Structure 1
Amino acid sequence: MDEFSFIRSIKPEYYRQSSLIKGIDDDAAVFRPSGHDIVTAVDTMVEGVHFTRQTMAPEQIGYRVLAANISDLAAMGSMPAFFMVSITIPSDWSQEELERIYEGMKRLGDSYQMDLIGGDTVSGSELSISVTVIGMVHKGKARYRSTAKTGDVLFVTGTLGDSRAGLEWLLNPKEQASEDHTYLVQRHQSPVPRVGFASNLSHLERLTLNDVSDGIANEANEIAKASAVDLWIDSKVLPFSEAIRKVFPRQYVDWGLSGGEDFELLGSVPEKDWSQVIEAAEQAGVSVSKIGYVKTKKGPEPVVKVNKSGEWEILTSSGYTHLKEKGD
């Protein structure tokens, strides 16, 4: 495969971002934003580690690796603008398949008016795709996981565990696929970053966000540690889809907590702003659930507690640790 002909095949016909001065066709891209802070993120997917041809078509691979990055931008309150792609290409992937990967990225990127402005290609033993995204946020308005305060409402968008359930079905189909199976698979292969929801909250003075890429067990602990607070979560109000409840009735709670890759947003706001979070979700066409509260840190280290039938358990990044005492 000729590298330059491949680059020509994926070069955009035109650019959308007015801040872009120079895109593909030079040593580097140049852009000049006005009145904004720049937000960047990078994510890598490797064949055999993050996906296989059994679980994703080429278009879905491209879509998903870009979606993971855009979700990071959403968690920072940033609007996506540009992306760059570095890809390691093994000999058993054809140019047609690679172009389909880029088509998947283009499909998602177009929905946010994103421009592909550069990247790199190299030969290797396994397919590896590394995407860097660049977003913009009004100066001083980026969102961080370190701003949660005692008394805040803890919330999460969408439903939890669907991506993990979809992957399980792809790897171990045990019956003919139903509408529920199809829904879960779609949630795994084509997640929707919550950019619109986060953007609708840009006017709030304080908002904590973290994207759910590794499960809320991990993300909640990241917020607790970064903000030096405890988080209390009520397991009875965690949001789960009807599909996951029906197809995986025994696993869905654990997958919701630690399954990951749902790319929802976990966050906190002052209780006085909760009604605005509900309104922002309605405007974005996404559900949002109040799942707990931010509490003052009681011990030497921040912890996340989950209430299960009146018993409190510490939720570590990877699972539960039972507590002997009852909740306060």
Structure 2
Amino acid sequence: MDEFDFIQSIKPSYYKQSSVVKGIGDDGAIIRPTFGQDLVITSDTMVENVHFSLDYMSFEDVGYRVLAANLSDVAAMGAVPRYYIVNINVPEQISNEELVLVYQGMKELADSYRVDLIGGDTVSGKEFSISITAFGSVSPELKRNRSSAEDGDIVFVTGSLGDSGYGYELLNRNEVDFNNYFVKRHVRPEPQVSFVNATEKFDRISLNDVSDGISSELNEIAQASKTNLLIEWERLPYRKELNELDEHKLDECILSFGEDFELVGTCPEKDWELLKDKCKQVGITVTNIGRVLASTKDQPSVFLHKDGERRVLQSSGYQHR
């Protein structure tokens, strides 16, 4: 397959976003931004055997997973995802036909949220890595910054924690059942894009996505908002199957592993019941896991209350280099 045929094989037959004036096929894409909307831009690079593995993932799975991470970042800003650009570094042992499967995996997820592929580049190299830049739009007053937490707010998280980590644990035991809920949650996580529309009527929400581990995400909110957070271990939502893990591994899955791509954030106490109801209407569960304690001029901290003791919850998830 030559370069022209490859481009034709990944080029959309039409664009779902009316703001796309020109997509793939020229030196650049042309977008006509929606009036009154801010543009949210996020970018991630994922590398084979660091962020994904072809030992137990198909090429379609890889595409799906790397795009899911980017759409989750867009959602964590309170934005609706609109477009994405893909740059791939491809080792010689991967064929063009296999590369097309990566794009098909992305397209499967993108079609679910009406997101358009509008460009990118492919180069040859020693390692298999994929860089995606995703774009979303948000009304200026609805941006969901980490810095929006205030005294007395409810701390919440969507879905359940530790699913991806437990799926990874099963894969490491060679329990490779791709119909297993936890394995699927690791291989093909679902970004919580529906949360954005469900909560568009709320004035103030701080938000972060659970990619690097909830301990890291909570500390980022505390740091940005200059507040302390108190988290109740007994409220953290996780599935009963994780109880077969020893205490250390359970803590690691829930607090540190990340890659569940759930959303964690805060909202005013007066909004909590309505927020929970709005999320329920779109099939999202949200759980009250704690409270914003107070503003602080000192080092903001996250405290975990577990087994009658309160300790500082340090950032212990994946650290970007």
Question: What TM-score do you get using the length of structure 2 for normalisation?
Answer: 0.94
Partner of 2:94: 93
Partner of 1:188: 186
Q: Deviation string for 1:35-74 (max 9, x for gaps)?
A: 2110011111111211221131111100000000000011
Partner of 1:288: 286
1:274 alignment partner, SS class: helix
Moved runs in structure 1, 4+ residues, more than 3 A? 175-179
2:200 alignment partner, SS class: coil
Partner of 1:308: 306
Distance 2:291 2:283 in 1: 24
Gaps of 5+ in 1: 320-328
Q: Which moved more, 1:191-200 or 1:61-70?
A: 191-200
Within 5 A, what are the aligned runs for 1:60-139?
60-139=61-140
Distance change >3 Å, CA 147–CA 12, structure 1 → 2: same
Letter in 1 for 2:102: I
Letter in 2 for 1:171: N
Q: Are the counterparts in 1 of residues 218 and 302 from structure 2 also a CA contact under 8 Å?
A: yes
Partner of 1:216: 214
2:315 alignment partner, SS class: coil
Within 5 A, what are the aligned runs for 1:1-328?
2-32=2-32, 33-173=34-174, 177=177, 182-246=180-244, 248=245, 250=247, 251-297=249-295, 300-318=298-316
Aligned length: 315
Q: Are the counterparts in 1 of residues 186 and 259 from structure 2 also a CA contact under 8 Å?
A: yes
Distance 2:178 2:10 in 1: 36
Q: Are the counterparts in 2 of residues 184 and 244 from structure 1 also a CA contact under 8 Å?
A: no
User: CA offset at residue 176 of structure 1?
Assistant: 8.0
Letter in 1 for 2:137: M
User: CA offset at residue 139 of structure 1?
Assistant: 2.9
Pairwise CA RMSD:
1.6
Distance 2:73 2:178 in 1: 32
Letter in 2 for 1:223: I
Distance 2:118 2:68 in 1: 17
Q: Are the counterparts in 1 of residues 226 and 297 from structure 2 also a CA contact under 8 Å?
A: no
Letter in 1 for 2:285: S
Question: What TM-score do you get using the length of structure 1 for normalisation?
Answer: 0.92
2:186 alignment partner, SS class: helix
Q: Are the counterparts in 1 of residues 63 and 102 from structure 2 also a CA contact under 8 Å?
A: yes
1:62 alignment partner, SS class: helix
1:289 alignment partner, SS class: strand
Letter in 2 for 1:143: R
Distance 1:18 1:233 in 2: 43
1:140 alignment partner, SS class: helix
2:78 alignment partner, SS class: coil
Gaps of 5+ in 2: none
Q: Which moved more, 1:27-36 or 1:104-113?
A: 27-36
Distance 1:177 1:91 in 2: 30
User: CA offset at residue 178 of structure 1?
Assistant: 9.9
Q: Deviation string for 1:67-125 (max 9, x for gaps)?
A: 00000011111001101100011111112211111010000000111111000010001
Partner of 1:322: none
Distance 1:286 1:259 in 2: 21
User: CA offset at residue 177 of structure 1?
Assistant: 5.0
Distance 2:160 2:295 in 1: 28
